[in-house]
Structure formats: C-alpha cells, structure tokens
C-alpha cells in the first residue's frame, strides 16, 4: 500500500506515515512492573530524615481523612471523598513540588491541598457547599478542587506552557515552573485527559500527570474502562514518558515523582505516572461500596496499607520506636482538634458568591439567576418583617 497526500512532491510517492513524526517508543515505555523500594536494598539509600518525615505526614494525612469523614457523618460537611489508602500518593505529590510550582487537584485530593499548606477548613469549604473554593489559588499555587473529571488536566498544560512563554518573553522573571495534575483512573476515560496529554506532548510542556489508579471509577472497575496494558502505556501514544509505580510504597512514590518533576523541569517534556493504589473507604459518604467489591478484596488491600508498610519498614530499620509512634499520634490528634475548632464557628455563606468567579463577565443567564435570587431574598425579608410586626401586636 502507498499513501499520497499534499505533502508528497508531485510524481513521488512517500512511504506510509512518512509525513508524521517517528520516534523510538522504547524510552517512553513504562516500567514492566510497578517500581517498589520498600523491602529492597534501595530503601537503605533513602535519607533518614526524609523517611521519618514521610511517616509523620502519612499519619497526619490518615487522621485528616478520618476527621473529615466524621464531620460528614455529623452533617458538618455535605460530602467528603476520602483518600484513605491513597495517602502516599497525595503526600508525596505535595512534597516533590517547589514553591513556584502549581498543583492541579481533583475532588479527592483535599489531602494534597492541605499538605501543601492550605488550612483544612479552607480546603474543605467546597465540600461544605459554602463557596466554589475556600482558598486563593494564586497565593498557594493550587488550582481549585476539580469536581468534573479531568478538566484540571488541560488547565495544568495551559498554565505550564503559558509560564514558559512568559519566561521566554521576559527572562528576568523566568521561573522553572512545573505543573502537577492529579487524576483518578476514571479521569483517564475522559476526553479532557487525552486532549491534555496530546497538547502536553506536542508542546513539550513541563507537566507531570499523576494517575492514582485505585481500581474503580465510583463502582466501575478499571477493566471496564480501559483495555490498555497499563494506564501508563497511554503516555506512549502522545510521545510522553510513562512510569508505573506502587502507589502504596511511599519511598517509591517519592522517588518516581521526584524524577518525573525534575524531568519536566529540565525541559525534557511531560511525564505520565500511574500509581497502583486502592481506595479503602467508599467513593463518598453517599456510596455503598459493598455493592461492587467484596470485603475480602478490601482486606487484602488493607494489608498493603501505605502507612502500615512504611511503619513496618522504619521499625525494622531502627528508625522508629514506640515513643516515635506515640509522638506522631499525638501530633495527629492535635491536627484533628484544630480541624474541629475551625469548624465550630463556620461563617454564613454569602448567596451572592454563587455568581462570582464563574465567568469573568457574567452571562445573561447568571445575571437572570442573580436577579431572581435577590427578588426571593427581598420577599423573604419582607415576609419576616411582617411576621415580626404581627407578633409585636
């Protein structure tokens, strides 16, 4: 078979696909097995203080998930998608970024937002239904939590590419900026994800995509979402480096993500990292996970709890003892106490804020809805005043 197209000189026939880029896929292929460091000789090469800090942050992260889940049961949060079991992914994602870098989280990544410095009460504002976002994205360099799946991925590419263009135009303000987008396995089934990878690959944008493959998109197992060998293999089709890592191995996560971020920062292009992990809790407080997975499956993954694995390793290496465990547990309880205190006196949400920060220039529909809300509030206020006057009589 021969192919003729407009790029072929008259009278000549080029070989198939000669008009497109051709690259050796071998350097892009992901690891044949998930990268693991715990239980291997490589673990001895890790900095001692880094290992202890990872443990401390995992313990605090687990307590944060527990406290947020409790607040939901108490009705103080409308919803909370827990990341219990995925803490190693989110903690390391926040740790490998520099101050100038940007984080683009999904709705399940509240822990990563808190770990990067946002107050828990502000990070959870969206889950309370009080505002579109409770923190200033520019102050923290964290995009708002994204509820629509994978829409944050193209945003990450756009910001990273724009920063590079700005740096080229004004070298004095140049920042070696990396954007890290957190996506779930369900998000990889969305068109936004594929568009983001394609743009990132073509532009060579300094972006890292971290896919937390916890096995399910709500109740849909991965086998019903993708027939790819791994989700990391999807990187190859876009000319991006793919990495596969054990998402419950905190040391492996830190190692692979650090390398991916520096790969992107050095101008060598984007990276797609697939972390194999598991969501130990239900999708949200509104989900009954027993309808689509067995207790035996959950117990098997609970035995690979990232916190348990790291604590076991640290104890065996003589880097952690009972006193250290107790001190870290106390710090976690202090965090839980702080979170509860922040929720004791919640501010009254401003209904008018529903219409701000949606569009730079409000659409006609938004203006109409705002006017309708104002009319209802005026009517309610008039009715309340009339009732008070009747009672006064």
Q: Is 98 among the domain residues?
A: yes
Residue 347: the pLDDT is 72
Range of the domain at 381: 352-392
In which band, very low, low, confident or very high, does the pLDDT at 345 lie, cut at 50, 70 and 90? confident
Claim to verify: residue 176 and residue 294 sit in the same structural domain: yes
Query: Is 86 within 8 Å of 247 (Cβ atoms)?
Result: yes
Claim to verify: residue 253 and residue 384 sit in the same structural domain: no
Q: Is 13 among the domain residues?
A: no
What mean pLDDT comes out for the span 382-391?
76
Claim to verify: residue 199 and residue 246 sit in the same structural domain: yes
Is 283 assigned a catalytic role? yes
Tokens of 326: 């107790």
Q: Is 20 among the domain residues?
A: no
Give the ranges where 131-190 is alpha helix by DSSP (H).
137-140, 152-169
Residue 390: the pLDDT is 75
From 333, 348, 363, give the residue that closes a domain.
348
Residue 7: the pLDDT is 43
* pLDDT cut 70: percent of the chain above it: 94
Which stretch of 123-137, 146-160, 180-194 has the lowest confidence by average pLDDT? 123-137
Residue 19: the pLDDT is 66
Claim to verify: residue 326 and residue 378 sit in the same structural domain: no
Report CA Rg, the chain. 24
What mean pLDDT comes out for the span 24-43?
95
Claim to verify: residue 94 and residue 150 sit in the same structural domain: yes
Per-residue pLDDT tens for 54-107?
999 999 999 999 999 999 999 999 999 999 999 999 999 999 999 999 999 999
Q: How far is CA 383 from CA 182, 294, 322, 388, 392, in A?
A: 48, 53, 63, 9, 14
Is 107 assigned a catalytic role? no
Report residue 17: phi and psi, to 5°.
65, 15
Among residues 141, 137, 231, the alpha carbon closest in space to that of 184 is found at: 231
Q: Is 15 among the domain residues?
A: no
Claim to verify: residue 343 and residue 356 sit in the same structural domain: no
pLDDT exceeds 80 at position 354: yes
CATH number for position 307: 3.40.50.970
pLDDT exceeds 70 at position 3: no
**Among residues 292, 304, 315, 340, which one is catalytic?**
292
Claim to verify: residue 110 and residue 236 sit in the same structural domain: yes
Q: Is 161 among the domain residues?
A: yes
Residue 17: the pLDDT is 57
Claim to verify: residue 178 and residue 240 sit in the same structural domain: yes
- Would you list the DSSP string of 91-128? HHHHHS--TT-EEE-BTT-HHHHHHTT--HHHHTHHHH
pLDDT exceeds 70 at position 340: yes
Residue 13: the pLDDT is 46
Residue 18: the pLDDT is 60
Overall domain count for the chain: 2
In which band, very low, low, confident or very high, does the pLDDT at 16 lie, cut at 50, 70 and 90? low
Sheet holding 207-213, edge to edge: 102-104, 179-184, 207-213, 271-276, 241-246
Q: Is 335 among the domain residues?
A: yes
Neighbouring C-alpha atoms within 13 Å toward the C-beta of 247: 25
Instruction: Tell me the average pLDDT of the chain.
Output: 92
**Among residues 63, 108, 164, 279, which one is catalytic?**
279
pLDDT exceeds 50 at position 161: yes
Claim to verify: residue 270 and residue 333 sit in the same structural domain: yes
Residue 11: the pLDDT is 43
The residues with which 14 forms a beta bridge, in sequence order, are 3
The residues with which 146 forms a beta bridge, in sequence order, are 106
Q: How far is CA 348 from CA 71, 128, 129, 339, 352, in A?
A: 17, 11, 11, 18, 12
Claim to verify: residue 325 and residue 383 sit in the same structural domain: no
Q: Give the residue with greater pLDDT, 173 vs 224.
A: 224
- Would you list the DSSP string of 208-269? EEEEEE-SEETTEEGGGT--SS-GGGGGGGGT-EEEEEETT-HHHHHHHHHHHHHHHHTTS-
Is 279 assigned a catalytic role? yes
Claim to verify: residue 288 and residue 372 sit in the same structural domain: no
Q: Is 388 among the domain residues?
A: yes
Q: Is 223 among the domain residues?
A: yes
Residue 91: the pLDDT is 98
What mean pLDDT comes out for the span 352-366?
88
Claim to verify: residue 296 and residue 385 sit in the same structural domain: no
**Among residues 62, 63, 283, 313, which one is catalytic?**
283
Per-residue pLDDT tens for 281-318?
999 999 999 999 999 999 999 999 999 999 999 999 99
Tell me, yes or no, if the pTM score tops 0.75. Answer: yes
């Amino acid at each position: 078979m021969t192919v003729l197209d407009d790029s072929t000189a008259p009278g000549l026939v080029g070989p198939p696909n000669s008009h497109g880029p051709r690259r050796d896929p071998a350097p892009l292929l992901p690891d044949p097995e998930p990268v693991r460091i715990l239980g291997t000789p490589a673990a001895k090469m890790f900095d001692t203080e880094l290992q202890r800090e990872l443990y401390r942050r995992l313990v605090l992260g687990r307590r944060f998930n527990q406290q947020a889940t409790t607040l939901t049961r108490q009705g103080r949060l409308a919803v909370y998608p827990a990341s219990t079991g995925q803490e190693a992914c989110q903690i390391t994602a926040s740790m490998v970024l520099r101050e100038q870098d940007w984080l683009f989280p999904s709705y399940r990544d509240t822990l990563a937002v808190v770990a990067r410095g946002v107050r828990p009460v502000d990070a959870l504002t969206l889950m309370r239904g009080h505002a579109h976002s409770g923190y200033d994205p520019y102050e923290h360099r964290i995009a708002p939590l994204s509820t629509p799946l994978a829409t944050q991925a193209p945003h990450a590419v756009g910001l990273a590419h724009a920063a590079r263009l700005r740096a080229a135009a004004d070298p004095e303000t140049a920042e070696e900026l990396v954007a890290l987008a957190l996506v779930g396995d369900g998000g990889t089934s969305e068109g936004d994800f594929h568009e983001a990878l394609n743009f990132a690959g073509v532009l060579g944008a300094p972006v890292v995509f971290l896919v937390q493959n916890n096995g399910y998109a709500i109740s849909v197992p991965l086998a019903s979402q993708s027939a790819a060998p791994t989700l990391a293999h999807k990187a190859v089709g876009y000319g991006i480096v793919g990495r596969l890592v054990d998402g419950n191995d905190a040391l492996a996560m830190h190692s692979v993500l650090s390398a991916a971020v520096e790969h992107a920062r050095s101008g060598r292009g984007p990276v797609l990292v697939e972390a194999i992990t598991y969501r130990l809790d239900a999708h949200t407080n509104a989900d009954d996970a027993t309808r689509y997975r067995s207790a035996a499956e959950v117990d098997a993954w609970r035995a690979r709890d990232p916190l348990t694995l790291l604590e076991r390793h640290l104890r065996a290496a003589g880097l952690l003892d009972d006193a250290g465990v107790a001190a870290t547990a106390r710090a976690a309880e202090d965090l839980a106490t702080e979170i509860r205190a922040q929720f004791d006196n919640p501010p009254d949400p401003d209904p008018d804020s529903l219409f701000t920060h949606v569009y730079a220039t409000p659409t006609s529909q938004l203006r109409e809805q705002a006017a309708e809300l104002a009319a209802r509030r005026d009517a309610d206020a008039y009715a309340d005043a009339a009732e008070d006057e009747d009672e006064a009589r």
